[in-house]
């Protein structure tokens, strides 16, 4: 089971674009394309086509859903002392195995995005302005 943390920016964009947490996590689990994130260390941007169809042997679509995230390992001392030791130990085993995925942003892209630069300039600027990562 994977742990997700959602930035305020990501939650705002999900509401704006009408994306659910299930849709965002599904894009992360089964992406059609993976790009290196341009916002910070260890960031990844993943895409899933919306309603793809086959036409003349090619897969086509008119819209994409993108998610930018960062995967981190969490150390025991970062968990805090609010829980009992047994619960912390169980949580630590889960986090050691899977880590925590921080969802930085999510958006819809009309059409087919260009390769190697899928993040629209306005989304990139908003992320950098709010310093989500």
The 10s digit of each residue's pLDDT in 22-75 is 999 999 999 999 988 777 778 899 999 998 999 999 889 999 999 999 987 665
Q: Which residue has the tokens 């689990």?
A: 29
Both tokens of 123, joined, read 């989304």
Residue 47 φ/ψ, nearest 5 degrees: -130, 145
**Domain range for residue 46?**
3-130
pTM: 0.71
- Burial code of 76-96, b = ≥16 C-beta within 10 A, e = fewer? eeeeeeeeeeeeeeeeeeebe
**Total domains in the fold of the chain:** 1
């Amino acid at each position: 089971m994977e742990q997700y943390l959602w930035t305020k920016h990501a939650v705002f964009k999900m509401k704006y674009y009408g994306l659910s947490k299930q849709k965002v996590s599904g894009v992360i689990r089964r992406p059609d394309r993976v790009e290196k994130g341009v916002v910070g260390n260890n960031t990844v941007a993943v895409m899933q086509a919306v309603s793809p169809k086959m036409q003349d042997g090619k897969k086509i679509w008119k819209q994409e859903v993108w998610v930018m995230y960062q995967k981190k390992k969490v150390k025991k001392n970062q968990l805090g002392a609010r829980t009992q030791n047994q619960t912390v130990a169980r949580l630590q085993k889960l986090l050691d195995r899977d880590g925590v995925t921080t969802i930085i942003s999510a958006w819809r892209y009309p059409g087919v995005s260009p390769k190697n630069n899928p993040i629209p300039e306005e989304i990139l600027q908003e992320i950098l302005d709010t310093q989500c990562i």
